[in-house]
Amino acid sequence: MKCLHVIALLGCTASTAQAQTVVRAGEAPAKPGPATNFTGTVSVRTMAEVIAPGQAGAALVTFQPGARTNWHTHPAGQILYVTEGCGWIQEEGSPVIRVCEGVTIHARPGAKHWHGATSSQGMRHLAVTETIDGKPVDWLEPVPASQYHGPAR
């Protein structure tokens, strides 16, 4: 009887381990950020797809100097963690904020914002975004150069 319980537990452990996905550094292919959503050179590595019943996905996004997102919102919000370099973020109606490696940003659900590299330094961040009804983001208009190169930060 005891033997059967051990075998059952081992079976559960093996099946759980097989259900995990492991993505090692460099294994996820980088794709260019589409020009419809970004200004400048941006690459996006999807690190974790949304898998039901979960609602969160993750991507490693690299911005070359001067590159940035369009204005956009996230129905369920977004968490960014800067892994390399420095960049700028801005929520509509608020000043531009400089962020560098080690900083975490939490964009509230529905908050209109943009983020990207500074004009002279690249930035990489890990973006964790939840979905509502399968939708992670609503893309809006580009950030004009006059606003991007606005007041000193």
Residue 5 confidence (pLDDT) = 42
Residue 59 near residue 45 (C-beta atoms within 8 A): yes
Residue 65 confidence (pLDDT) = 97
Tell me the pLDDT band of 141, cut-offs 50, 70 and 90: very high
Find tokens 């999807």 and name the residue. Answer: 46
Tell me the pLDDT band of 10, cut-offs 50, 70 and 90: very low
Query: Would you say residue 86 has pLDDT above 80?
Result: yes
Residues in the chain: 153
Tell me the pLDDT band of 8, cut-offs 50, 70 and 90: very low
Query: Would you say residue 102 has pLDDT above 50?
Result: yes
Identify the CA nearest to 76 among candidates 2, 150, 1, 128. Answer: 128
Per-residue pLDDT tens digits for 106-118: 999 999 999 999 9
pTM of structure: 0.83
Name the CATH architecture for the domain at 23-148: Sandwich (2.60)
For range 21-32, the mean pLDDT: 84
Residue 13 confidence (pLDDT) = 43
90 membership: H or E segment, kind and range: strand 78-91
